[in-house]
Structure 1
Amino acid sequence: MLALRNEALIMKKAVALCRLTGCLPITCTNSVAVLKQSGCRHYRSQPTHGIGRYKHLLPPEPDPKKKDKLPRKEIKPSSDHEYGVLNLQVSGYNMILVEHYSQYVHNLCSRLSIKVQECYAKPTKTKEVMLMQEHSTKMFLDAMLTTHERVVQVTGLSSTMAPILMEVLMMNQPEGVQLLVKEHTEADYQVRFKGRPELENLVASMS
């Protein structure tokens, strides 16, 4: 009876070891053979290269040095009852007035259920005012005029809503701020980017 109990305890230990190591238990009456079989480690013969690697599962990260070009959007054509893509250009010398009036235009279009496609700022333009003294041919700098411009781009403006919108905008137009409404073209898209004359001259010389 004592021998059977010892053999049962050995079998339990062997099964527990097999569960931990992953080996399949072998039913054998000989306890020594079970212990030898339970001590085997099959993973030694299997390769472990690549275990723990996960970077190949992640999506590729974009290179911060490479800047993708902005995709060009198709210009929606106009129809008999509504306009296509219109640019509401707000310009002036006072940046605060220009910014606030462009926000007013945007909010007004949203309240009138006019779809605003995007709002953006054009590059700032600077003009020099030269003054010539009396009885002299020399000119000196008198003032610097900085022009700020904001564009509110709307689409799908109906022909019945257009005069109402223009009347409200002109009634609330502040002094010193100019408002221009025109159809959006490809040239307006290119004006948004600053030119690089040095690069253009280099490309022209290479070609």
Structure 2
Amino acid sequence: MFHKNILLILFFTTLFSCSEKQFSFENYANYPVKFAKENFFYPNNEFEIFLPLNWESKIENYEDNDEIILGLDAFSKPDDENFIHGISIQKTKPFSLKKDLKSEYDYFIEKINQKASLEIIDSGKTDFLTNEAYFIHSKSNSGNYGELEMITIITKSSSDNNYFYLNAGASRTKELNKNMSMMLSCLKTFKQNN
């Protein structure tokens, strides 16, 4: 009887600890999730991407910004707990003076490390896209339920010396794994047309 109780305690401890484990970028990218989606073409045909069906999308105007060339934001409707999740794609001029993809990634890592409110979970080179890319997986460190978790993928533009930043941001709720996996599934469909 004593052994059965120990086994039950170990089983539930293991189950609980597994459910609390932080998903990695790779876990999210490989987590199976089914959802309806629709193809979105940027107005100048610079890129296309599949977005979740019925998400609100907005073409951003960056005329007053010298660094961001173009952008798209797409957001979910508020969930049962009133949290939203979003995808953002921005084409930017190089932030790094060296103007290569690795330097751009290093610059972004440095900027995140300077923010006391963010914590990097993981980062590095990835074969997530067909083009060379780097990822940064970060989260807010407020400790509040529903705080932001974000994955940014940086890749070079195939038509010029600029960069695309693909972002997925989800609230850290009980639906985090599903929501982040759905957004990464969309980001994986990102295709440059120029």
| TM-score, normalising length: structure 1 | 0.24
Larger radius of gyration: 1
| TM-score, normalising length: structure 2 | 0.26
